[in-house]
């Protein structure tokens, strides 16, 4: 079974499945990008909230230390106001953990000076991704920081109580100062870890998003490519079917023309003879002579019957895709050279023939296609900068195969193109051809159960070797 028949038996993927894959991939891509951006936006909101948390805590510490040494009530009021920022975020966290009503959670975030537009994203991210490692780590740091804020609030209340009810010695103030500073340092570490956890998570999400986008884009591109390939194959198949139908119509018309010609000449001639013999026999009285006329009539009828039988056999004979017959390679090569004499600068090219095998049994039409195209390419891609331009055509036998070599010293083919030159519409120079010549050559060789190989170097030249089995069935 040849390659073409194998390809025809392969079932093509359902185009509707491909379209569904493309649709689902695009939908998933949009869905994933939307929620990834939403996660990143909410993470950004938490980082922004942490900056307010950190600033509020540090300002509260600053005002508390100032109050510790000055007993300025304005500083105490500022301490309480600034401490409400991290306390508000802490209240929001506790409300989220305990599934409290949304308005309570939002009030906590508002107290933490979070942007009103970010509140829904903050709640959504916490509720849906609190178990995700990066967010769970950040929440843990947040919880520890809230505990330290409570300690800071307790120390502040003690300071306020002692300064309003008794006198604090300088040494006591220094101890409390150190205690506050230590708490502030611990909070700074928690706040830094909180931001770092969110930052690491965002970077991982970004990487996953890139990988996911690349994955789905590759799926979409692959599906579109396969879909395009299927449609091209269907178009080519439709085109081939139309061409076959046209060829059948041409054959049918040709057969009809032959039939009409035969009917008007070969069939009419014996009928005319019969009519003449009958008229003569009617006037003849000699029985022996009449018998001679009857013999002549019989001969005409036998001849006519044989001709009708030949017409029937001819109409039954179907045209084959490959016609194996004696072929002269030398004649085909000479015809190909003669057909290309009109090409510009062809007379500057020296074309050499080395015919070691001439008569073979093969399909003359396809051999003409192969040799014509290879010779045409060698002429088209000749190197005009060389002093002598050469093309060599050699035929010979090797084992059970006929070989045809077309060698030139032209511009050559880049190595990365050599595996693609037999693809449909692939061209190495848009000004030199349509990209169908070598594709047609490959198809013609495949129909003959053969193969083709190419060796080429840039500015050195190219050699195409065609191998055809001596027996078509091989």
- Report the CATH number at residue 401: 3.30.565.10
Give just the sign of the alpha carbon dihedral 67, 70, 71, 72: negative
In this structure, is residue 360 part of a structural domain?
yes
Are 269 and 369 in a shared domain? no
Are 177 and 222 in a shared domain? yes
Return the half-sphere exposure (C-beta side, CA atoms, 13 A cut-off) of residue 129.
Answer: 22
Of all residues in the chain, what percent carry a pLDDT higher than 70?
A: 83
The arithmetic mean of pLDDT across residues 133-162, rounded, is 89
In this structure, is residue 232 part of a structural domain?
no
Are 252 and 303 in a shared domain? yes
Tell me how far apart the alpha carbons of residues 369 and 411 are, in angstroms, rounded to a whole number.
23
Confidence (pLDDT) at 130? 86
In this structure, is residue 307 part of a structural domain?
yes
Asked if 109 and 124 count as a contact pair (C-beta separation under 8 A), the reply is no
More confident residue, 286 or 85: 85
Tell me how far apart the alpha carbons of residues 80 and 74 are, in angstroms, rounded to a whole number.
10
Are 166 and 204 in a shared domain? yes
Are 357 and 379 in a shared domain? yes
Alpha-helix residue ranges (DSSP H) falling in 340-409: 364-380
Alpha-helix residue ranges (DSSP H) falling in 98-169: 102-111, 119-129, 133-165
Asked if 395 and 357 count as a contact pair (C-beta separation under 8 A), the reply is yes
Q: Is the pLDDT of residue 265 over 50?
A: no
Query: Residue 202: CB partners within 8 Å, gap ≥ 6?
Result: 40, 43, 44
Q: pLDDT, tens digit, for every residue of 228-261? A: 787 888 888 888 888 888 886 786 566 455 445 4
In this structure, is residue 237 part of a structural domain?
no
Tell me how far apart the alpha carbons of residues 154 and 64 are, in angstroms, rounded to a whole number.
12
- Residue where a domain terminates, one of 227, 261, 284: 227
Are 390 and 424 in a shared domain? yes
Q: What are phi and psi of 454, to 5 degrees?
A: -135, 140
Average pLDDT, the chain: 81
Q: Which residue has the tokens 């001596």?
A: 470
Are 221 and 289 in a shared domain? no
Domain with 354, as residue range(s), is 325-469
Query: Residue 330: CB partners within 8 Å, gap ≥ 6?
Result: 353, 355, 358
- Residue where a domain terminates, one of 227, 260, 279: 227
The pair of three-digit structure tokens given for residue 265, joined into one six-digit string: 């000449």
For 4-74, where are the E strands, in sequence order?
A: none
Are 352 and 293 in a shared domain? no
Q: Which helix (H) or strand (E) covers residue 270, if one does? A: helix 268-283
The arithmetic mean of pLDDT across residues 450-473, rounded, is 91
Asked if 447 and 4 count as a contact pair (C-beta separation under 8 A), the reply is yes
Sequence length of the chain is 474
**What is the domain count for the chain?**
3
User: Exposed, middle or buried: residue 101 (CB in 10 Å: 0-12, 13-18, 19+)?
Assistant: exposed
Asked if 296 and 277 count as a contact pair (C-beta separation under 8 A), the reply is yes
Residue 89: closest CA among 38, 61, 126, 39: 126
In this structure, is residue 236 part of a structural domain?
no
- Residue where a domain terminates, one of 193, 227, 261: 227
> What's the pLDDT band for 104 if we cut at 50, 70, 90?
very high
297 - beta bridge partners? none
3-state helix, strand and coil shares in percent for the chain, rounded to the nearest 5: 70, 10, 20
Tell me how far apart the alpha carbons of residues 460 and 452 are, in angstroms, rounded to a whole number.
20
Confidence (pLDDT) at 458? 92
Q: Is the pLDDT of residue 454 over 90?
A: yes
Are 100 and 77 in a shared domain? yes
Q: Which residue has the tokens 């053969």?
A: 450
Query: Residue 286: CB partners within 8 Å, gap ≥ 6?
Result: none
Q: What are phi and psi of 468, to 5 degrees?
A: -125, 130
Are 418 and 279 in a shared domain? no
The arithmetic mean of pLDDT across residues 94-111, rounded, is 92
> What's the pLDDT band for 315 if we cut at 50, 70, 90?
very low
The arithmetic mean of pLDDT across residues 149-177, rounded, is 87
Buried/exposed 326-357: b ≥16 CB within 10 Å, e otherwise = ebebeebbeebbeebeeeeebeebebeeeeeb
Confidence (pLDDT) at 264? 52
Are 418 and 330 in a shared domain? yes
Q: pLDDT, tens digit, for every residue of 56-85? A: 889 999 999 999 888 889 999 999 999 999
In this structure, is residue 6 part of a structural domain?
no
In this structure, is residue 420 part of a structural domain?
yes
Confidence (pLDDT) at 3? 47
In this structure, is residue 199 part of a structural domain?
yes
The pair of three-digit structure tokens given for residue 262, joined into one six-digit string: 């035969």
Of all residues in the chain, what percent carry a pLDDT higher than 90?
A: 23
Are 35 and 182 in a shared domain? yes
Q: Which helix (H) or strand (E) covers residue 403, if one does? A: strand 401-408
């Amino acid at each position: 079974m040849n390659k073409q028949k194998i390809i025809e038996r392969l079932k093509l993927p359902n185009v509707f499945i491909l379209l569904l894959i493309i649709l689902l991939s695009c939908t998933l891509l949009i869905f994933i990008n939307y929620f990834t951006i939403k996660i990143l936006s909410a993470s950004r909101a938490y980082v922004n909230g942490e900056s307010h948390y950190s600033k509020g805590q540090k300002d509260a510490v600053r005002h508390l230390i100032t109050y510790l040494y000055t007993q300025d009530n304005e500083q105490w009021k500022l301490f309480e106001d600034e401490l409400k920022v991290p306390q508000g975020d802490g209240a929001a966290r506790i409300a989220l953990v305990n599934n409290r009503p949304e308005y309570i959670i939002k009030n906590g975030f508002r107290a933490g000076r979070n942007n009103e537009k970010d509140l829904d994203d903050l709640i959504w991210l916490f509720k849906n991704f609190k178990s995700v490692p990066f967010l769970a780590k950040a929440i843990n740091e947040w919880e520890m920081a809230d505990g330290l804020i409570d300690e800071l609030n307790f120390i502040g209340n003690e300071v306020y109580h002692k300064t309003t009810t008794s006198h604090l010695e300088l040494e006591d103030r220094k101890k409390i100062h150190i205690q506050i500073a230590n708490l502030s340092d611990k909070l700074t570490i928690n706040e830094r870890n909180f931001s770092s956890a969110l930052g690491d998570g965002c970077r991982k999400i970004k990487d996953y998003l890139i990988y996911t986008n690349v994955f789905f884009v590759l799926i979409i591109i692959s599906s579109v490519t396969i879909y395009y390939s299927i449609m091209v194959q269907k178009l080519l198949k439709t085109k081939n079917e139309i061409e076959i139908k046209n060829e059948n119509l041409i054959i049918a018309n040709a057969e009809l023309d032959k039939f009409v010609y035969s009917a008007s000449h070969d069939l009419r001639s014996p009928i005319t003879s019969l009519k003449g013999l009958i008229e003569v026999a009617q006037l003849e009285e000699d029985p022996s002579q009449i018998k001679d006329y009857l013999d002549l009539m019989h001969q005409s009828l036998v001849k006519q019957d044989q001709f009708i039988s030949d017409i029937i056999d001819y109409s039954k004979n179907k045209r084959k895709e490959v016609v194996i017959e004696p072929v002269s390679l030398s004649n085909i090569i000479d015809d190909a050279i003669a057909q290309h004499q009109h090409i510009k600068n062809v007379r500057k090219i020296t074309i050499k023939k080395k015919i070691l095998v001439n008569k073979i049994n093969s399909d003359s039409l396809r051999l003409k296609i192969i040799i014509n195209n290879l010779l045409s390419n060698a002429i088209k891609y000749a190197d005009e900068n060389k002093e002598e331009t050469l093309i060599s055509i050699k035929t010979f036998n090797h084992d059970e195969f006929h070989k045809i070599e077309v060698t030139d010293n032209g511009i050559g083919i880049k190595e990365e193109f050599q595996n693609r030159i037999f693809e449909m519409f692939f061209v190495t120079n848009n000004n030199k051809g349509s990209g169908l010549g070598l594709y047609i050559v490959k198809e013609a060789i495949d129909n003959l159960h053969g193969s083709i190989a190419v060796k080429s170097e840039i500015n050195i030249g190219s050699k195409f070797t065609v191998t055809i089995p001596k027996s078509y069935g091989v």
